[in-house]
Structure 1
Amino acid sequence: MSTDPADVKSAKRVTLKDVAKAAEVSLASASYAINGTGSVGDQVRAHVLKIAEAMCYRQNLSARAMRTGRTGALGLILPDFANPFFTSLAQSVIRSARAQGYCVFVTDTEGDPNQERKAMHLMVERGVDGIVWFPIHDLENGTALINDTPTVVIDRTVGGIEQVHADYHAGGRLAAEHLVALGHKRIGVVSGPMSVLSMRERCAGAIAFIEQHAGLVFNLTNAFSYDLEADVRMAIERRDATAIFAGADLIALGVIQHASRTGLRVPDDLSVVGFDDIPWAQISAPPLTTIEMPVEEMAAEAIDALLRRVESRAQPRRKVVFETALIERKSTSRPL
């Protein structure tokens, strides 16, 4: 290791005071320019930022946290990275947070409530400024888990915490309307776990319209997986339904796969509609008709709502609901 004085000097961390001196501004103006706060002109801000970049200045986040009580970090807790919907959601949340100057710590609880509680505890313990949380299940009250840390919930219903949802009931109805408009009279429904309110709502919307305008052949439940339960496989094989609404895209992809294995052609023999519009939906064979969850917009709202709560804990708790939309691809057609 070199002990040349020049090397030791070059290794010294550049401080805010060094930047202020080089830019010939006050320490306060340098701080305002770099943190995007306070009263400082655009030209001065640009000049300071240019000097800071040239000097390779990096903020001391530990010192900032001690001074402001904030770390510049947010937590994101998701239930299952095996589902590509959550990968897409994570990317959207990270992009929205990054645009606001925050980094995001992400964890996957693998559908385990014990891991979920540990993840909440770890995020709080690490001092994140706030948490975006997609719970495994709905909860009557989740405030005991977050220990007064600003938190926004996506998709689930959790008492005492601000929530961002889609209009699931309307989305389910859109799926059923599409199938009925194509002329399907015998329609089956394969839901995800009905312990989740958002799933109950999307299936209720579909079933109500089907029962009014067509015939509901079966209503079965499956895990959030393309591996289908035996009773779902048997229902497909009976060929009583000419169309199926699946409560999640992963389930819909499983339906298409099993239909193909049993000699059914999608969509000629069986039309399939999913829900979520995961990235895989566009590249399935055939591409999946589905109900779009506006993930980008929901993520942006979750971050905006969270940062409002970071600024003021007294903000009223809201429930924001986004519209869904039908994305028509090649997995649906008129019955032969």
Structure 2
Amino acid sequence: MPDASPTRRPTLKDLAREAGVSLASASYAVNGNGSVGEQTRAHILAVAQRIGYRQNIVARAMKTGRSGTLALVLPDLTNPFFPALAQAVFRAARSRGHAMFLIDTEGNEALEAAALAKVTDLGVDGVVWFPIRDKDTSQGVLSRTPVVVLDRTIPGYATVGIDYVGAGRIAARHLLDAGHRRIGIISGPTDIASMRDRCDGAEVLIRAEGELAFRVSNAFSVDIEPQAQVALLRSGATAVFAAADVIAIGALRHVQSNGLHVPHDLSILGFDDIPLAEQCLPALTTIELPAEEMAERALELLEHQIVAAPPLSSAIVLLGTRIVGRSSVWPRG
């Protein structure tokens, strides 16, 4: 029997002895590889659970060169989109047998650089990174680590993103088809290429078939900034494309607090389809950002880099989007 002292962790030898199998069979069972029968594997795993055996990640990494762990680095968990994305990435990683660290860089580039250095120090097998901006803050620490970048444009990394120009056109098309002709745009921060692309895609179509009432920018926040407040109330727009759901929700609250009715006085369309979008009053019509598909494709690319040589550092995957129709857009006329 292994020592039950809380200061001693059961070893692989303890597991093999307790299960009455060879050390090799015990190793095959817990690592999910090698030649061992399914009934024997199930018996070994049941014994492992009973005695509290857990793999020593450090020892495994020294032996195999892999830790079985990944890292997810996100820019801002206060934005409701990112917890939903994190869940999708964790599910995709778990289904493939990976454990995962999560780090929130709080929109701070110094924290982002420190986080990237830390996860490489921990010896993770790969990193899924949603950068704060289209800027490589890694300072070279990721040069030997498989990385997949989400949403941003940073040369030299495999990337999973969205056809944002097409997504912007989908948003504009929906408003135009609803009879709106004077349409405004509230962009997020303009130093992010994906944000510029979605707004540019919408603007081109609006100008071609209607009239652009305004185009202003706002932080990723429900707090609407002065220039956007004025545009919402005084531009004469009948519809607004807010290029992130948190901004759309802030815009909805602002116009309602000033006596306007959404959608009859002003229709509002968002982007991302965060969980809160369905809970607004009225529920927010929005463009779905396919988090589950982004996560799956990111893990596919990352696993390819982990096992393949050379890595697909230049691979770019662009996904499509769709409109999620709810109650915040009203047909005009």
Counterpart among 197, 200, 204 of residue 201 in structure 1:
197
* Equivalent position SS for 2:202: helix
Superposed CA deviations along residues 150-201 of structure 1, whole A, max 9, x for unmatched, are 1110000111111011121111111111111110011001111121111111
Match of 1:31 in 2: 27
| Normalised TM-score (structure 1) | 0.93
Match of 1:61 in 2: 57
Match of 2:259 in 1: 263
What is the rounded CA distance, in whole Å, between the counterparts of 2:34 and 2:284 in structure 1?
51
Amino acid at match of 1:323: G
What is the rounded CA distance, in whole Å, between the counterparts of 1:22 and 1:244 in structure 2?
67
Match of 2:300 in 1: 304
What is the rounded CA distance, in whole Å, between the counterparts of 1:143 and 1:113 in structure 2?
11
> Does residue 100 of the first structure (1) align with residue 96 of the second (2)?
yes
> Does residue 13 of the first structure (1) align with residue 9 of the second (2)?
yes
Amino acid at match of 1:73: T
| Normalised TM-score (structure 2) | 0.93
Structure 2 unaligned blocks of 5 or more: none
Amino acid at match of 2:188: G
* Equivalent position SS for 2:140: helix
Match of 2:81 in 1: 85
Superposed CA deviations along residues 52-101 of structure 1, whole A, max 9, x for unmatched, are 22333221222212212222221111111111111111111122222222
Counterparts in 2 of 1:25 and 1:285: CA distance versus 1, 3 Å: same
What is the rounded CA distance, in whole Å, between the counterparts of 1:145 and 1:214 in structure 2?
48
> Does residue 231 of the first structure (1) align with residue 191 of the second (2)?
no
What is the rounded CA distance, in whole Å, between the counterparts of 1:314 and 1:39 in structure 2?
30
The Cα shift of 1:102 comes to 2.1
What is the rounded CA distance, in whole Å, between the counterparts of 1:313 and 1:263 in structure 2?
61
Contact 2:113 2:137 in 1 (8 A): no
* Equivalent position SS for 1:47: helix
Match of 2:130 in 1: 134
What is the rounded CA distance, in whole Å, between the counterparts of 2:56 and 2:233 in structure 1?
63
Contact 2:214 2:235 in 1 (8 A): no
- RMSD of the alignment, in Å? 1.9
Equivalence map 1:288-299=2 (5 Å): 288-299=284-295
In percent, how many aligned pairs have the same letter? Answer: 48
The Cα shift of 1:290 comes to 0.3
Match of 2:36 in 1: 40
* Equivalent position SS for 2:36: coil
* Equivalent position SS for 1:115: helix
Equivalence map 1:159-178=2 (5 Å): 159-178=155-174
Contact 1:124 1:147 in 2 (8 A): no
Counterpart among 207, 219, 222 of residue 218 in structure 2:
222
Contact 1:187 1:243 in 2 (8 A): yes
The Cα shift of 1:232 comes to 0.9
Match of 1:328 in 2: 325
What is the rounded CA distance, in whole Å, between the counterparts of 1:109 and 1:54 in structure 2?
38
The Cα shift of 1:141 comes to 8.8
Amino acid at match of 1:108: D
The Cα shift of 1:140 comes to 6.8
Greater mean deviation of Cα atoms: 19-28 or 154-163: 19-28
Match of 1:183 in 2: 179
Superposed CA deviations along residues 223-261 of structure 1, whole A, max 9, x for unmatched, are 111111211111111151000001111111111011111
Amino acid at match of 2:255: A
Contact 2:112 2:137 in 1 (8 A): no
What is the rounded CA distance, in whole Å, between the counterparts of 1:233 and 1:333 in structure 2?
21
The Cα shift of 1:44 comes to 2.6
Greater mean deviation of Cα atoms: 219-228 or 16-25: 16-25
What is the rounded CA distance, in whole Å, between the counterparts of 1:20 and 1:116 in structure 2?
43
* Equivalent position SS for 1:332: coil
What is the rounded CA distance, in whole Å, between the counterparts of 1:188 and 1:134 in structure 2?
28
Equivalence map 1:115-134=2 (5 Å): 115-134=111-130
Counterpart among 270, 273, 276 of residue 277 in structure 1:
273
Contact 1:141 1:160 in 2 (8 A): no
> Does residue 157 of the first structure (1) align with residue 153 of the second (2)?
yes
> Does residue 211 of the first structure (1) align with residue 232 of the second (2)?
no
Structure 1 unaligned blocks of 5 or more: 1-5
Match of 2:248 in 1: 252
Count how many residue pairs are aligned between Structure 1 and Structure 2: 330
